[in-house]
Amino acid sequence: MVRLFAILLLCAPGGADDALVKSLQGRWTGARYTEGNGDNQGGAQKIELVFKDNALVCTKESGAAVGSATFVILPDGKSIDATGTGGGYQNKTYFGILKVEGDKLWWCCSGTAGKNQKRPDSFVANAGGAQYLLVLTRAKP
């Protein structure tokens, strides 16, 4: 029985989500927006995200911590769920969508965790809908 389980694990497809998680690894810099599509820099908060395995840490430009989380890429390869691992974000899950094109990452997520939150359907932050848009560029080593 143990052998059968091991064989099934080895034969299971890795899926697009594994490749996407791998592509996210490392340090990304950019900004977080509370409204708009990221074209207007007014009101943007400069941030840095560091992805390591299925965890991430976010800091402000000043180095102050924003938060940390674990994340899961859903099988569609376009949806991400991040669950806070500390502070006020502890055990709160935020639904989002993401897109990676080369060294650019767009991530739009619900700004509230709760039973009525909705996954964004576009890469536009809607202040009334409590959404955040992160537009990031992979940092050069």
The answer to whether residues 124 and 108 touch, using CB atoms and an 8 Å cutoff, is yes
Domains and CATH numbers, the chain: 26-138 (2.40.128.490)
Model confidence over 4-38: pLDDT tens digits?
A: 233 323 333 344 578 999 999 999 999 999 988 98
* Helix intervals (H) in the chain: 2-11, 15-24
Query: CA-to-CA distance for 45 and 53, rounded, in angstroms?
Result: 25
Closest residue by Cα to residue 77 from 9, 135, 22, 133 = 22
pLDDT tens for residues 83-125? Answer: 999 888 899 999 999 999 999 999 999 987 666 688 999 999 9
105 within 8 A of 98, measured Cβ to Cβ: yes
What's the pTM value of the predicted model, to 2 decimals? 0.83
